[in-house]
Homo-oligomer: A and B are copies of this chain.
Amino acid sequence: MPAVEPKRDTQTLKALLGVRDLVLGGGVGAGERLSEIALAQTLGVSRTPLRAALSRLEQEGLLELIPSGGYAVRSFTTADVFDAIELRGVLEGTAARLAAERGVPPARLAQMKRLLAELDNTFRDRLEDMLFDRYVELNAEFHAALAALAGSETMRREVERATHLPFASPSAFLEGQEDVPAFRQSLIFAQRQHRDIVSAIEMREGARAEALAREHARLARHNLDFVMGQDRSLMRRVPGLALVSE
């Protein structure tokens, strides 16, 4: 998802979501060229909105321009994925630090705490019973709210952009793994980090807020390591992971 999703655009949005799903779903391999007319037919849109979507996905980092013209699916190294996660952590950390240093309006802080409480409510006594989808949804909301906490539109835009970099999403390695116990346990830890980040911001502890947010992003890296090292059968279930070469 890009920083700001166009709403009413039916055709362009259709193309955007369609191509993204196709690429992340493994419909086209890494490095493969995308034929515009073929894609247009497949997705049921004309070339014009399709090209708009392709251009967008290129700036998003999912596609690359071919020197001779046209677009191809980017191929990623593990370093790319690690760095995308690192970037998200760094940017969210910066947003958290600035929020702490500058202070946030009480209403905003209350909203963050409400999100924390709602996240708590997704947990159950038995870990298997937790409301996983609801957690993923609220988690995305939390991170979006965090991006806006520093105050400026530019900061919000760019932090949210980093959040939607390929493989860097807070829920990138969550979906499709609800039934792995280790993942569910890591969510308890993640929620504790959420609380600590908000607490640090409230207490104006900028450096701590930054460090916590950075470390929080590292959870995604741990999950990635687990998926790629421990159990390669999981790789098929993580969207787009087939695009990672090594």
Provide the A79-118 mask, 1 if CB < 8 A to any CB of B, else 0. Answer: 1111110110011001000100000000000000000000
- Are B80 and A152 interface neighbours, CB within 8 A? yes
Instruction: Answer yes or no: A165 CB below 8 A from chain B CBs.
Output: yes
- Are A154 and B84 interface neighbours, CB within 8 A? yes
**Chain A, interface size: which category?**
35 or more
Stretch touching chain B among A50-58, A172-180, A185-193, A224-232:
A50-58
- Are B6 and A61 interface neighbours, CB within 8 A? no
Each complex incorporates copies of this chain amounting to 2
Known A52-B55, A59-B59, A150-B83; contact A65-B6, beta-carbon cutoff 8 A = yes
Q: With A and B bound together, what is the CA distance between A77 and B81 in angstroms?
A: 33
Instruction: Answer yes or no: A135 CB below 8 A from chain B CBs.
Output: no
Q: With A and B bound together, what is the CA distance between A240 and B90 in angstroms?
A: 28
Instruction: Answer yes or no: A151 CB below 8 A from chain B CBs.
Output: yes
A94 CB to nearest B CB, Å: 5
- Are A83 and B56 interface neighbours, CB within 8 A? no
Contacts of A162 in B (CB 8 A): 158
Q: With A and B bound together, what is the CA distance between A98 and B80 in angstroms?
A: 13
Instruction: Answer yes or no: A235 CB below 8 A from chain B CBs.
Output: no
- Which residue of chain B has the shortest Cβ distance to A90 in the bound complex? B94
Q: With A and B bound together, what is the CA distance between A3 and B79 in angstroms?
A: 19
Which 7 A-B pairs rank lowest in CB-CB distance, beginning with the nearest? A79-B152, A80-B154, A83-B155, A83-B152, A83-B154, A59-B59, A80-B152
A interface residue numbers (CB < 8 A to B): 2-4, 6-8, 48, 51-52, 55-56, 59, 61, 65, 67, 69, 76-77, 79-84, 86-87, 90-91, 94, 98, 150-155, 157-158, 162, 165-166
